[in-house]
Amino acid sequence: MELELSRLRVAGTCRARYHRRAMRRVYLDHSATSPALPEVVAAVREVLEHVHGNPASLHGMGLEAERVLERGRQVLAASLGADPSEVVFTSGGTEANNLAVFGTAWARQKPHVVVSAFEHSSVLEPARRLREMGVEVDFAPVDPGGFVRTDALADLLRPHTALVSVVLVNNEVGTLQPVAEVAKLLDDVQTRWGRRPLLHTDAVQAFCHVPFRVRDLRVDLVTVSAHKLGGPKGVGALYVRKGVRLQPLLLGGDQERGLRGGTPNLPGIAGFAAAIRFWEREGERLRARLRELSARLRAQLADLSGLHWNTPSDARRTAPHILNLSVPGLRGEVLVHRLEQEGVYVSTGSACHSRRAHPSHVLLAMGRTEQEAISAVRLSLGPDTTEEDVLYAAEAFRLAVQDLRFLVPS
């Protein structure tokens, strides 16, 4: 690894052709976090500067703060097709996922939990911790295309299954999962055994990028996060269908219907609402443009030898903004740093684990070899991505791969 990085540094200083090229900054890591939109910054600043009360306080400034909180709740609920009382604000997607998994298990006697094998780590790690605590947990396999195998998932269901969690859009490869089909499987459980397991979906990468309504999906719990759509970091939410019983993770206050103690992040919630309003205005246009730009980027790299796409080409089954590919023989993190020298910013996968030197669990679950998983990179587009960005990134990618293959022959 050190040898590869050393050679990379030499290449960065010695190959003059790169220095002759006009340097751009092309950010293709929106699935890690998306830059804050101008209206989001304005909304956050407005609350920071002018709303100083605690929503739990009884005086006028507290009531003013409560109005900010409830307006944000209404905006989010409307975008989900939910009732405002079903929205629980959290510190982000990780906390919301933990609340869904732990909160369901702790509220039931001898529960059984099923999660897909390529969930985000904030679902997988709580599930593994439950298993360590003696809870029965199963992991549903996925197929090589990156879709959960509903037939195998159905075989895992039990009379005492309490929770099934299947991500709506996988955060690394962008595949759209058959959550509505899973909901039908749970109807069969209710018919056979008289009790329907709760269905949770992590919609962090789907929210605003793939339109959905919670009633149409027939889900009980949905995780969303602000900073994947140009909102602030540090704020998210869990949709909790009316009648669903959860145990809280954070105690010490009765905020958020008693499910999440602590003073809410009002500036973050105001910014979250501003980001949602932006996507409500511009979403249809943006989704079409992201789809077009993703297809253009894919086409620009189509004839690059040895490249393997981990994101399927069927646009009907993928999110419009995520592409994942492997270049066997090269390490993903080395390619990331080589692209950075060209001003192109991508990632090796989930930002939560991008600094750990191990293969992607998502790609391994899809049946990729360890070498293919180690060589993967994710390119994720956002509202500010242009056609010029895509063309520049494609050229930089080609040159980076050519350069690294010269330096690190197979």
Catalytic residues: 352
| C-beta of residue 169 within 8 angstroms of C-beta of residue 203 | yes
Nearest to 269 by CA among 109, 86, 75: 75
Structure tokens at 374: 């180690």
| Closest CA relative to residue 340, chosen from 251, 260, 404 | 404
Kind and range of the H or E run holding 130: helix 121-132
At which residue do the structure tokens 């629980």 appear?
A: 88
Exposed/middle/buried for residue 410 (C-beta within 10 Å: 0-12, 13-18, 19+): exposed
Separation CA 119–CA 202 (nearest Å): 8
Are 376 and 183 a contacting pair, CB within 8 Å? no
Q: Is 41 exposed, middle or buried (0-12, 13-18, 19+ CB in 10 A)?
A: middle
Dist. CA 410–CA 405, nearest whole Å: 7
**For helices 38-50 and 266-300, angle between their N-to-C axes, nearest 10 degrees:** 170
Side-by-side strand order, sheet with 87-90: 87-90, 236-240, 221-225, 198-202, 161-165, 112-116, 136-140
